[in-house]
């Protein structure tokens, strides 16, 4: 395991890079952060620092839900990051691109919980009962690492590249929905930029959420009623910049949009 001083130094570099919206070199190289355990230790340091400074934890995000991307980074499971209240934008909102480094957007399905999940062996049936509703979501991912030259350790340490998110306002119950068949079209400036389907997210976004729910209990940050779960991309990431308008359309779950300024 990397020594604690390097872990704390790496956490500070990432936090400062985010604060200034200026990229840093890969912390995997600079500080020798090569293990997933060390990367999550860095993420946890910055999570606790944010909470101590008054930030409010309101959910989690799941990354690396594509098997192809997992293989590219040499891992066999997703990763997770924290969602804070100040990351959320309203549907149709303007997002200040000067606060971001190299943003990209993903079309996703967001789950909102109506019950706490406190058991590491939570079943699929229990998870389904805990879900209050689902909505379409745009996740804005960003990397503190220059030119997105990331290893799995870099992205995990950098809060799974989480930056912000936009939720749709028309909640839908899970009843009789097959989320694996939910189609997605992500338009940028009124042109199709990405297409996808629920099955691209670990076969079904519910499977991704079950992994997350179990994992969060194991790491000591169990999911609570009201938490937002960004379940993972349904299609390719789309680079965005000032002036871009995004609109996500899902087959049955509706639409959500935002504008970058």
Task: Give the chain's mean pLDDT.
Answer: 95
- What pLDDT sits at residue 155? 94
Structural domains in the chain (count): 1
pLDDT at 77 exceeding the cut of 90? no
Higher pLDDT, 23 or 72: 23
**What phi and psi values does residue 46 have, to the nearest 5 degrees?**
-70, -30
Question: Which pLDDT value is given to residue 67?
Answer: 75
Kindly report the pTM of this predicted structure: 0.95
Question: Taking Cα atoms as reference points, which of 2, 17, 259, 4 lies closest to residue 159?
Answer: 17
Average pLDDT over residues 158-172: 97
The reply to whether 106 falls in a domain is: yes
Rounded to an integer, the average pLDDT of 239-257 is 98
Whether 40 is covered by a domain: the verdict is no
* Overall average pLDDT of the 212-230 stretch: 98
When pLDDT is averaged across residues 90-114 and rounded to a whole number, the result is 97
Residue 47 lies in a domain: no
Task: Give the whole-angstrom CA distance, residue 165 versus residue 148.
Answer: 19
* 62-73 average pLDDT score: 77
Using alpha carbons, select from 156, 146, 169, 18 the residue that is nearest to residue 88: 169
List all residues 6 or more positions away from 11 whose beta carbon is below 8 Å from its beta carbon: 42, 45, 46, 49, 157
The CATH number covering residue 206 comes to 3.90.850.10
State the residue range of the domain holding 220.
57-260
- pLDDT for 74 equals 72
39 falls within a domain: no
Mean pLDDT value of segment 11-21: 98
Q: Is the pLDDT of residue 167 over 90?
A: yes
Residue 1: pLDDT over 60: no
Using the predicted structure, report yes or no on whether residue 127 has a pLDDT greater than 90: yes
Nearest Cα to Cα of residue 60 among 203, 209, 184, 167: 209
Q: What is the pLDDT of residue 219?
A: 96
Instruction: List pLDDT tens digits, range 232-245.
Output: 999 999 999 999 99
- Is residue 134 a contact partner of residue 112, using CB atoms and an 8 Å limit? yes
* Domain assignment of residue 8, yes or no: no
Reply yes or no on whether the pLDDT at 160 is more than 90. yes
Q: Give percent of the chain with pLDDT exceeding 70.
A: 97
What pLDDT, in 10s, does the model give residues 172-186? Answer: 999 999 999 999 999
Mean pLDDT of 153-162: 96
24 lies in some domain? no
Confirm whether 38 is domain-assigned. no
């Amino acid at each position: 395991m990397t020594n604690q001083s390097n872990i704390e130094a790496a956490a500070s570099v990432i936090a400062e890079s985010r604060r200034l919206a200026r990229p840093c070199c890969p912390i995997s190289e600079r500080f020798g952060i090569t293990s997933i355990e060390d990367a999550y230790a860095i993420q946890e340091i910055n999570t606790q620092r944010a909470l101590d400074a008054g930030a409010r934890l309101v959910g989690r995000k799941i990354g690396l839900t594509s098997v192809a991307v997992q293989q590219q980074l040499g891992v066999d499971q997703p990763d997770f990051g924290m969602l804070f209240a100040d990351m959320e934008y309203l549907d149709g909102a303007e997002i200040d691109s000067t606060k971001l480094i190299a943003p990209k957007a993903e079309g996703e399905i967001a789950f909102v919980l109506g019950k706490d999940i406190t058991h590491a062996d939570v079943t699929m049936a229990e998870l389904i009962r805990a879900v209050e509703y689902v909505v379409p979501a745009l996740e804005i991912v960003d990397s503190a690492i220059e030119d997105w030259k990331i290893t799995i350790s870099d992205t995990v340490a950098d809060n799974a590249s989480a930056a912000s998110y936009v939720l749709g306002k028309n909640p839908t119950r899970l009843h009789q929905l097959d989320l694996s068949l939910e189609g997605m079209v992500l338009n940028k400036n009124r042109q199709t930029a990405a297409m996808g389907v629920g099955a691209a997210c670990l076969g079904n976004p519910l499977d991704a959420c079950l992994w997350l729910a179990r994992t969060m209990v194991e790491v000591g940050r169990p999911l609570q009623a009201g938490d937002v779960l960004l379940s993972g991309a349904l299609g390719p990431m789309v680079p965005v910049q000032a002036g871009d308008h995004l609109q996500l359309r899902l087959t049955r779950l509706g639409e959500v949009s935002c504008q970058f300024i």
